[in-house]
Amino acid sequence: MNLNRTFKKTSVTRRTKVWFFILGVLIAFILLISGRKAVTFTSSDKYCNSCHIHPFSDQSWRLSTHYNNKSGNIVHCVECHLPPEGNGYLLSKVKQGLKDVYGFYFKDSAKIEWEKKKLLENARRFVYEKSCIECHQNLFPVTLSVNGGNAHLFYTASKDPINCINCHLNVGHFDKNALLHAHDTNFGVTVTSKEPPFTEPARVTKFESYREMIPGTTVSFDMIAIPGGTYNMGSPDNEPLRNTDEGPVRRVTVSGYWIARTEVTWDEYMAFFRATGSQGRTEGQVVTTRKADAISGATPPWGAPDQGWGKGSRPAITMSWHAANVYCQWLSKVTGKKYRLPTEAEWEYACRGGTQTPYFFEGDPRKFTSEGLLKKLFGSDTVNIASRVVYSGNSPSKTEEPSFVKENSFGLKNMPGNVAEFCSDFYSADYYKTDSIRVNPRGPENGQEHVIRGGSFKSDAKDVRSAARDFTKTKAWLVTDPQMPKSVWWYSDCIDVGFRVVCEPDSAVRQ
């Protein structure tokens, strides 16, 4: 009996198991089908556009070569913005999905800065290299140009990471201002001003602020006299969010100098470009041999160095450190004065304007910064800083005209922020620790890269502190230059560095 029962019981269990198994298979099958359908449905352009409430991205996509092309082939959202299947497609889809759900329910879409997302460093995070390669398998089509060939040779030979969108940033979303990598030989050819040009540079006999006039042009700019003095250069150990290369603090003395009120503007830089521009390296060299004292300037750039933001009084950008130096030589020649890039010590002294605080105005870097999860959720403080600095907290990812900000106590604008500025010093992270020169220090004797100061419109608040240091990154800033060898005049991949000039008083000027 017992045995029989047990037998019955087990047989029922077995049968149930079989049924459960069949049911399981069925459910799995349905889930698989519907899951597959769900994946397909949630990967359609329509579905993407149902949440992504930024119609211009839909419009710019329709205008781009990935939609509007001869072949009639449409490349869909997920074909670029997710990796190809088999390369972590589902995982990325889930991640992006969760992010999108969060953004949809917890973020104000009007406050999302879409312009910023178009920048290369951001675009890299949601455009997948593998997806580009998945479709574009032949990097050497027969129709490829010489420059294209050079660029793709460089891409395939490069040991450093370099993405397709380094050069092909706007192929998925059309941007009428993007003229990347077209050799712009007409750059700076037209002069629009009708006013009579200056015939004489400014005459300076006293150590006081003056307005420089570039002879032969209508361009002028203000130079502010900065009396010499001694200050604490660098940041103390207790300054919030500092980096170690800013210390130890040293008492440094600088002699008096003039420094430009604003960063060198496009108007100023174009005066130089028009006066000295050369057709190309070879022709440039011919000019120098014929006239020993002639300054041979920049070759025409590739694309639009002003990024389509406009020139005028916006700071000039994308010129190389070398070009900025040649600019100073040229300016010295046409004005008969001694212009040059500031030393790092002069720069910080001018930026501080007598203050010893993190900024030349009141405020705590910890409150201003937007880094960290809490800041991302609740936003950061912008009081004081937003009216004085062009930085990531108030900029639509581009340069601003000087009128955008208030000046510091010396009367200087945009020392921190807007564009980072070249200094004449080589950069060394431990220079403050090792150097013993305390009067007019000029940086290490040798080095590879130069100091840049002040941070830019891309920088977080912590990187626009008066003591914050940074340096040029020559290799990275030329990564997509299609020329071989690369330009010595223009950076192809750096859009937020410019410079400001200083003038050294000559012996005739009494301080």
Q: Do the beta carbons of residue 446 and residue 347 sit within 8 Å?
A: no
Closer to another protein by CB, 68 or 156: give it.
Answer: 156
Closer to another protein by CB, 281 or 375: give it.
Answer: 281
Closer to another protein by CB, 13 or 158: give it.
Answer: 158
Closer to another protein by CB, 262 or 492: give it.
Answer: 492
| Total of residues contacting another protein (CB under 8 A) | 17
Q: How far is the CB of 157 from another protein (least distance, A)?
A: 8
Q: Which stretch binds another protein (CB under 8 A): 147-155, 175-183, 316-324, 493-501?
A: 147-155
Q: How far is the CB of 475 from another protein (least distance, A)?
A: 11
Residue 146 touches another protein, criterion: CB under 8 A: yes
Residue 181 touches another protein, criterion: CB under 8 A: no
Retrieve residue 497's tokens.
């560095």
Per-residue mark of binding to another protein, 467-506 (x: CB under 8 A): ----------------xxxx--------------------
Residue 135 touches another protein, criterion: CB under 8 A: no
Retrieve residue 474's tokens.
């020559």
Q: Do the beta carbons of residue 325 and residue 339 sit within 8 Å?
A: no
Residue 120 touches another protein, criterion: CB under 8 A: no
Closer to another protein by CB, 342 or 482: give it.
Answer: 482
Distance in Å from the first CA to the final CA of the chain: 119
Q: How many CA atoms lie within 13 A of 235 on its CB side?
A: 23
Q: Do the beta carbons of residue 232 and residue 253 sit within 8 Å?
A: no
Which of 492, 444, 489 minimizes the C-alpha distance to 471?
Answer: 444
- The DSSP letter of residue 299 is P
Q: How far is the CB of 159 from another protein (least distance, A)?
A: 11
Q: Which stretch binds another protein (CB under 8 A): 146-154, 207-215, 364-372, 452-460?
A: 146-154
- Distance between CA 442 and CA 425 in Å, rounded? 6
Tell me the DSSP string of 397-461.
Answer: SS---GGGS---TTS---SSSSSEEEEEEEP-TTHHHH----BS----SS-SSEEEES--TTS-G
Closer to another protein by CB, 1 or 142: give it.
Answer: 142
Q: Do the beta carbons of residue 75 and residue 67 sit within 8 Å?
A: yes
- Residue from 118, 250, 281, 311 that binds another protein (CB under 8 A)? 281
- Distance between CA 137 and CA 100 in Å, rounded? 30
- Residue from 7, 21, 56, 140 that binds another protein (CB under 8 A)? 140
Q: Which stretch binds another protein (CB under 8 A): 118-126, 144-152, 308-316, 320-328?
A: 144-152
Q: How far is the CB of 84 from another protein (least distance, A)?
A: 18
Q: Do the beta carbons of residue 250 and residue 496 sit within 8 Å?
A: no
Distance of CA 103 to the CA centre of its chain: 25
Residue 19 touches another protein, criterion: CB under 8 A: no
Which residues contact another protein by CB under 8 A? 138-142, 144, 146, 149-150, 152-153, 157, 281, 483-486
